[in-house]
Structure 1
Amino acid sequence: MFPIVLSLPLLLGHTVPQEPQAGPYSLVFLYTGLSRPSKGLPRFQATAFLNDQAFFRYDSDGGRAEPVGLWAQIEGMEDWEKESQLQRAREEIFLETLKDIMDYYKDSQGSHTFQGMFGCELGSNRSSGAFWRYAYDGRDFIEFNTEIPAWVPLDPAAKDTKKKWEAERVYVQRAKAYLEEECPRLLRRHLNYSRSHLDRQAPPTVSITSHVVPRRNSTLKCLASDFYPQTISLHWSRAGKVCKSRSGDALPSGNGTYQSWVTVKVPPEDRAPYFCHIEHSGLSQPLAVQWNERQKAKTKVTLGAQPQ
């Protein structure tokens, strides 16, 4: 018994040329196992991410690893049959570990969740970080420390897991090698097919809507959509001063881009112009979109990506 990622020979492919790159780039795997999945949910599912973009998924219902999004159209990036075999082996060990934890706590009732996350990061073509950790029912369970190296229990039941995973010292060394050598090598290989997509700069499209209630504060909402990468800054200003506002996180739009918003309350007697300010790496300079009293009948203003 040893950590799930080491259950089959790793699919490292051919040697990858050492090309200059900026980064950072990351390769992350997220696993979730359920003791009693509700209807419509698989008992086990895995998703692999390049940076913040999911590039393949696997679940126990289908039993196959399949590329998603842009990667479904890329030939030669991965041997999906071998990847499916690997994920099926990881599924078996992952769910066995979940059962061991439940046996430790003598808790076979109810639904329990076991999650794992591991991966690595590259910056300037060099490994700049790696992690490997697990959680049980939302609590930290065990994590790998590459400095020791060893599995570090974070839960009483994890002491038994540590014994199993460290039964032979070679498994600890292989876990360290995976995080520090093999994962970065696999990431470099995937970047041969994905770098241009991950490096793209998609500027936001901006729309403004107003919600007016007679004799009450009206609400202006500035929505930025279809932008990539995820980081963006939005705020409202009036008379050159930043307004108190409410904003939402940048969330996936479902097409590989993101959207975010910011709202501001405007008193009914206020006739001053308001500006929505947007900063994003896809813009050559910050964008300021004006909304004023004369425009309130026009409830939506859609702009392209060019600064004004």
Structure 2
Amino acid sequence: MVLPFLLSLLFVLGPAVTQETQDGPYSLTFHSIGISRPEAGFPSFQATGYLNDQAFFHYDHESGKAEPRGPWKQVEGMEDWEEVSKYQKARGDFFLKNLKEVMDYYKDTDFWCVWVHTGNHTMQEKIVCELRNNSYCRAFWMTTYDGQDYIEFNTEIPAWFPRQTKAVFTKVKWETEGSVQRAKDYLEEECPRLLRNYLQYSKTFLDRQDAPSVSITSQVGPGNIRTLKCLAYNFYPGPVSMYWTRAGNAVETDEWGDIVLSEDGNYHSWVTVKVPYSDTGPYFCRVQHSSLAEPLTVLWNEGQESQAAGTA
């Protein structure tokens, strides 16, 4: 009765208090990882909770503690972290039992297969639910094995949907154990309830609008080609638009950097353009972000580096 037990643990996380929330969407994500042969620094089981894109707690089997992260370290009353630690320890034990069962499904009498499947293996689980205007929006539950989709839950049918041939064994076992209705109830009712409660303590962090700061640098490379780089940093939320212009016209971009979440909970990104060394501009980097009433425009001229900070 492995999966029903895991579900019963998920159902008891968090107090039952609710409060109206608006707008969004807001999401609650639980991401768990199990490793069959843990090494130093890589515990056998760890789990992280996210509100939208922000990690608000982390647990691992080495410490045995679920601890709040980021600004949630200062929040009182959102969770009883000692109780969460107990739940996550129990979940981790059963999660690793599931991993062992999946590994057994892949064992084969063929020598090569036996050798492959006695190595180190990982299983990951991602459970997500979303709210918009205080109403359930969507949810999903996906399990991967060794980096490949293994089995997922379909709330519409409802049923567990195998993504690999061997996952049929898991489907039969879990559905025989009676997990289908509990998984559906958790995704569509309990997870949103928990998210509503967390939002009482978290909307200040999740709804904030931090304007980007922008800096420009230049570097001359082979062939007397100059690379202009525009870096936007310390902004939140993540969506941002960046591009170069010259004489009022957009310039073809060389490279865009990924929009990356930093450890401090803010984002940064960059965009570059390549121009002949003889071209002295002027060039402008334009940054559009939800925190800005109008795009932030930063000038570059030959021989100078520029910086600017937006105001919300």
Q: TM-score, normalised by structure 2?
A: 0.92
Unaligned regions of 5+ residues in structure 1, if any?
Answer: none
252, 261, 264: which one pairs with 1:255? 264
Kept after mapping to 1: 8 A contact 2:298/2:306 = no
Alignment of 1:1-308 (within 5 A): 1-3=1-3, 5-8=6-9, 9-17=11-19, 19-106=20-107, 107=114, 108-169=117-178, 171-213=179-221, 216-245=224-253, 246-293=255-302, 296=303, 298=304, 300-306=305-311
Q: Alpha-carbon deviation of 1:7?
A: 4.1
Distance 2:70 2:101 in 1: 36
Q: Alpha-carbon deviation of 1:36?
A: 1.9
Kept after mapping to 2: 8 A contact 1:232/1:279 = yes
Distance 1:78 1:301 in 2: 45
Distance 1:164 1:81 in 2: 32
Distance 2:84 2:211 in 1: 35
Distance 1:132 1:277 in 2: 39
Question: 1:130 aligns to what SS in structure 2?
Answer: strand
Kept after mapping to 2: 8 A contact 1:12/1:185 = no
Question: 1:269 aligns to what SS in structure 2?
Answer: coil
For residues 4-63 of structure 1, give each alpha carbon's deviation from its aligned partner in whole angstroms, at most 9, with x where no partner exists.
Answer: 64142522413313x241111000011111112343211111110000000000011111
Distance 1:15 1:254 in 2: 30
Q: Which structure carries more helix by proportion?
A: 2
Kept after mapping to 1: 8 A contact 2:298/2:307 = no
Q: Alpha-carbon deviation of 1:244?
A: 2.0
Root-mean-square deviation (CA, aligned residues, Å) is 1.6
Distance 1:112 1:236 in 2: 46
Q: Alpha-carbon deviation of 1:215?
A: 5.8
Question: 2:202 aligns to what SS in structure 1?
Answer: helix
Question: 1:45 aligns to what SS in structure 2?
Answer: strand
Distance 2:311 2:203 in 1: 25
Q: Give the 3 Å change call, closer, same or farther, for CA 189–20 of structure 1 in structure 2.
A: closer
Q: Alpha-carbon deviation of 1:212?
A: 2.6
Distance 1:221 1:52 in 2: 26
Q: Alpha-carbon deviation of 1:213?
A: 4.3
Q: Alpha-carbon deviation of 1:113?
A: 1.3
What amino acid maps onto 1:61 in structure 2?
E
Kept after mapping to 2: 8 A contact 1:2/1:164 = no
Unaligned regions of 5+ residues in structure 2, if any?
Answer: 108-113
For residues 243-285 of structure 1, give each alpha carbon's deviation from its aligned partner in whole angstroms, at most 9, with x where no partner exists.
Answer: 2221101101210101000111120111221110100001111
Question: 2:90 aligns to what SS in structure 1?
Answer: helix
What amino acid maps onto 1:105 in structure 2?
Y
Q: TM-score, normalised by structure 1?
A: 0.93
Q: Alpha-carbon deviation of 1:137?
A: 1.0
Question: 1:283 aligns to what SS in structure 2?
Answer: coil
Matched residues, percent identical? 54
Question: 2:233 aligns to what SS in structure 1?
Answer: strand
